[in-house]
Structure 1
Amino acid sequence: MLATRSELIKKIRLGEDSFLELKEVRFAGDKIRGPSQNDLADELAAFANSSGGVLLLGVEDRSREVIGIELDRLDAVEALLRQACEDAIRPSLAPVIERMTLPDASGVEQPVIRVEVLHSLFVHQSPGGYMQRVGSSKRPIPPEQLARLFQQRSQSRLVRFDETPVARAMLADLDEALWRRFAPARSADAPEILLGKLAMAAHDDQAGVWRPTVAGLLMGSHVAQRFLPGAFIQAVAYQGTNVLPAGEAMYQRDVQDITGPLDRQIIDACAFVRKNMRVAAYKHAQGGREDLPQFDMLAVFEAVTNAVAHRDYSMAGAKVRLRLFDDRLELYSPGMLPNTMTPESLPFRQAARNEALTSLLARCPIDDDTLAVHRQHIMDKRGEGVSIILETSERLAGRCPEYRLNDDSELMLVIYGARME
């Protein structure tokens, strides 16, 4: 949408409409005087609640003149945009933010920021309420229209989020060697049809093209993070039992952003824990030695698998976080529990948020000999994962792991380590 310079220049001459908003960026000293974070949030949410659109920063709306933004202030403007999307819009947005140049009235190229917002599957609330784009302005959505909008969007989400096509992604962004592993050995179907049957691609009716789905990118691409910014595991091993304030002595022993296809992320996350956990060695009176690991790796494997398979990928920018301390492992998975599940009911019930994703993971062999003794494939459809986490960890450490729900937006699992004495 208005992706090229020529398209934008022509559109700017015509002025604002349902798909274009122009804003000058004003500064007072080093601080941004306007637009405010709330104003940006209202504009972006209005586009998302309507048919999408482009916000162009660095252009005066009335005169339609390209004013530009000073180069050394682009970072500050982009930071304000991110804050507006993440802190002032619910659910949050992940628009495309692009720096580019456009000619001013004298033909001199000036830096501007282009923000593209797509039509959303959700209804977004911003500081001004529930807004929509009407012509060149944003307006509150009338109550009766808002009720219909909630109903329509909830019905559209009956198609699970992991099966929805990802805007801007193309089938060429998938790695054929990765997605072919899920396809029958002999198939006469065209690639897009085959990918569609696997729920790894879907037809974008608005654009008239086939696009990878969320599940397709997560399992069939090495660069899913280009389109799904939070689709990775942030792993940190700390020195001690607490996170120290910034500026104090070094406390991070190891840090890794674990990327790639989800099955690879799971194995690499287990390797991170194995590398950084402690192992005690005991000598038997009759001779011989026994190693006692701090964590049961089968429990860690099940916990990481559940975290990446069942998280809410619609939460823009949210990532799985793995934190390893001297006495425990913490794992944070974005999203509230599906349906009516509670942390207490996890050992007794099953509810898959991402059916296409879990189906693909159930067909991935475990590429780790020490973990493959338990079963052959990553995912288990029997729903035994939580029980394994609880029982094996308690048997090793003498303390049962704990599930907690943080702010109805993140599931936290604490696995206590064995005493290394």
Structure 2
Amino acid sequence: MIDRWIAEATECDFKVALEIKKPKSWLKSVSAFANGIGGTLLFGIDDNRNVVGLTDAQADAEAISRLIKERISPYPNFILVPEREDGKNILILTVSSGYSTPYYYKADGVMEAYIHIRNESVIAPSFALNQLILKGMNRTYDTLNSEYDFKDYAFSKLRERYKVWTGNSMEDKLFDSFDTRNEYGKLTNAGALLADDSPIRHSRLFCTRWNGLDKSGGMVDALDSAEYSGSLIILLNEGASFVKRNMKTRWKKTANSRIEMPDYCERSVFEALVNALIHRDCLILGSEVHIDIYNDRLTIYSPGGMADGTRIQERDISNISSTRRNPVLADIFGRLGYMERQGSGFKKITESYHAAHNYRKELEPEFYSDVTSFQVTPYNLNYGTTTNSSNVTIEDESVAITTGYVAIEVAIDGLNASQTTIQKAKEVYKNMGTDGIFGRSDISSITGDSVTAAGKLISKLKAASLIVPVKGYGKGKYRFIEPHK
């Protein structure tokens, strides 16, 4: 019975007995559970899960209900159930995650809100308390009005991306429908984060290529480093460029073509960086998004844990529903083609890695989160592998071209299309090779065109029998055919 309760509990605390004279010892857990993802208190059981039992479970149950009503504000939702285990009476108190946060413990003129960190209930730090206040108001940071005037800021990067993605110019009225400007001409926090010269100074990106497997690399600790500020779009583009210039691509010849093997799956890195920038907790000051590249891995760090309070390392990556800390920013990035609105980023990160030619099970991307941080660690797909110089080449700025590669380019040259379209088709093939799986969104990311234009390019490639559909990766996925000599 105990094991069932523990297995079903989101969080769990054990109490040998009910402390009536010192109720804070357990009421702070009630506050923390209501402020978090919920949890269960088991009275009459010690920390080693041994059943001790309660002397008077009925009186204890009445005291629990009374003390919660007197000491926790607002009144949380909970269920109190008596049970018998090994012939002894115990009480199971299950506290639901609340919507009217923060839930305070109040006594002796003091009100304190608690949160659960590493199996301990602690007083919520200022940023966590602000999060709880916003949650209780049904508001998010990005929807709040800022002190900055729309007329004082430029949005060239936002307008440029909107034009590329949709084919239309971004009119000023769209800033209202995007919830980036209020009726008084003030920017919301979302708008301030998207301004070219963003006035929110802690929205920055720090990038470092370390010399070795950790941050103590010897005589030269860092091989490359950069700090970026400005619009979130600038941070995204600069971060992706930093990773690209600090990775290499191997390729090997096959009988008819070549297979490219980059150190990292660029799509996975891009998805992880989008997630880090859009879902970061902007209430945590003095901390920025970081990209740290080591010899064997890179880590993308973002301030703030999972928005729903859970821990990513305890979740099934393939089955996580979308909970967005900054829904306005997420919606805008969805409209710009940087992310999908249904929230499948984690799955994309892992699936893109699985599709890489040089993927091995031990290189599975790792995810970690706690209350204050979120980290994604993709591993270097080429680290530790041997290189046979007769059939594998390391690509820096130029690569050798095999007969098969030329054959596909010649075929693309024969497309019934404009020279601009032909060049874009070649660019797609250069990025994907014959192993890459792609759809309209992937092509648009490479060419900078809208998904509609990407769909037209797919139609031309299909008509020329240069690509074939691929099953098992979702609807509308293709790869280039294997070329023949």
TM-score, structure 1 normalization: 0.53
How is 1:19-418 mapped onto 2 (pairs within 5 angstroms)? 142-143=109-110, 153-154=133-134, 157-167=137-147, 169-177=148-156, 195-202=175-182, 210-219=185-194, 221-224=195-198, 227-244=199-216, 248-284=218-254, 286=255, 289-343=258-312, 344-349=315-320, 350-364=322-336, 377-396=337-356, 397-398=359-360, 399-406=363-370, 408-418=371-381
Deviation at 1:173, TM superposition (A): 3.3
**For each residue in 1:60-107, what CA deviation from the matched residue of structure 2 results, as whole angstroms up to 9, or x when unmatched?**
xxxxxxxxxxxxxxxxxxxxxxxxxxxxxxxxxxxxxxxxxxxxxxxx
Q: Is the 8 A contact 1:263 1:378 kept in 2?
A: no
**Given the superposition, is the C-alpha separation of residues 196 and 276 from structure 1 closer, same or farther in structure 2, using an over 3 Å criterion?**
same
Deviation at 1:341, TM superposition (A): 3.3
Structure 1 SS opposite 2:250? strand
Larger radius of gyration: 2
Structure 1 SS opposite 2:291? strand
Corresponding residue of 1:7: none
Report the Cα distance in structure 2 between the residues aligned to 1:152 and 1:386, rounded to whole angstroms. Answer: 25
Q: Is the 8 A contact 2:201 2:229 kept in 1?
A: no
**Given the superposition, is the C-alpha separation of residues 347 and 324 from structure 1 closer, same or farther in structure 2, using an over 3 Å criterion?**
same
Report the Cα distance in structure 2 between the residues aligned to 1:166 and 1:264, rounded to whole angstroms. Answer: 21
Structure 1 SS opposite 2:292? strand
Which amino acid letter does the alignment assign opposite residue 223 of structure 2?
R
Matched residue count = 255
Which amino acid letter does the alignment assign opposite residue 312 of structure 1?
D
Report the Cα distance in structure 2 between the residues aligned to 1:177 and 1:165, rounded to whole angstroms. Answer: 21
**Given the superposition, is the C-alpha separation of residues 281 and 165 from structure 1 closer, same or farther in structure 2, using an over 3 Å criterion?**
same
Report the Cα distance in structure 1 between the residues aligned to 2:331 and 2:131, rounded to whole angstroms. Answer: 29
**Given the superposition, is the C-alpha separation of residues 239 and 170 from structure 1 closer, same or farther in structure 2, using an over 3 Å criterion?**
same
Further displaced range: 257-266 or 300-309: 257-266
Which amino acid letter does the alignment assign opposite residue 368 of structure 2?
R
**For each residue in 1:343-376, what CA deviation from the matched residue of structure 2 results, as whole angstroms up to 9, or x when unmatched?**
1244312111111101111122xxxxxxxxxxxx
RMSD between superposed Cα atoms in Å: 3.5
**For each residue in 1:1-25, what CA deviation from the matched residue of structure 2 results, as whole angstroms up to 9, or x when unmatched?**
xxxxxxxxxxxxxxxxxxxxxxxxx
Deviation at 1:230, TM superposition (A): 2.0
TM-score, structure 2 normalization: 0.47
Query: Where does the alignment leave 5 or more consecutive residues of structure 1 unmatched?
Result: 1-121, 124-129, 131-140, 204-208, 365-376
Query: Where does the alignment leave 5 or more consecutive residues of structure 2 unmatched?
Result: 1-100, 115-128, 387-485
Structure 2 SS opposite 1:412? strand
Which amino acid letter does the alignment assign opposite residue 154 of structure 2?
D
Q: Is the 8 A contact 1:329 1:415 kept in 2?
A: yes
Report the Cα distance in structure 2 between the residues aligned to 1:253 and 1:150, rounded to whole angstroms. Answer: 39
**For each residue in 1:361-397, what CA deviation from the matched residue of structure 2 results, as whole angstroms up to 9, or x when unmatched?**
1122xxxxxxxxxxxx111113222112112224533
Report the Cα distance in structure 2 between the residues aligned to 1:306 and 1:289, rounded to whole angstroms. Answer: 32
Structure 2 SS opposite 1:305? helix
Structure 1 SS opposite 2:342? coil
Which amino acid letter does the alignment assign opposite residue 202 of structure 2?
G
Which amino acid letter does the alignment assign opposite residue 143 of structure 1?
V
Structure 2 SS opposite 1:280? strand
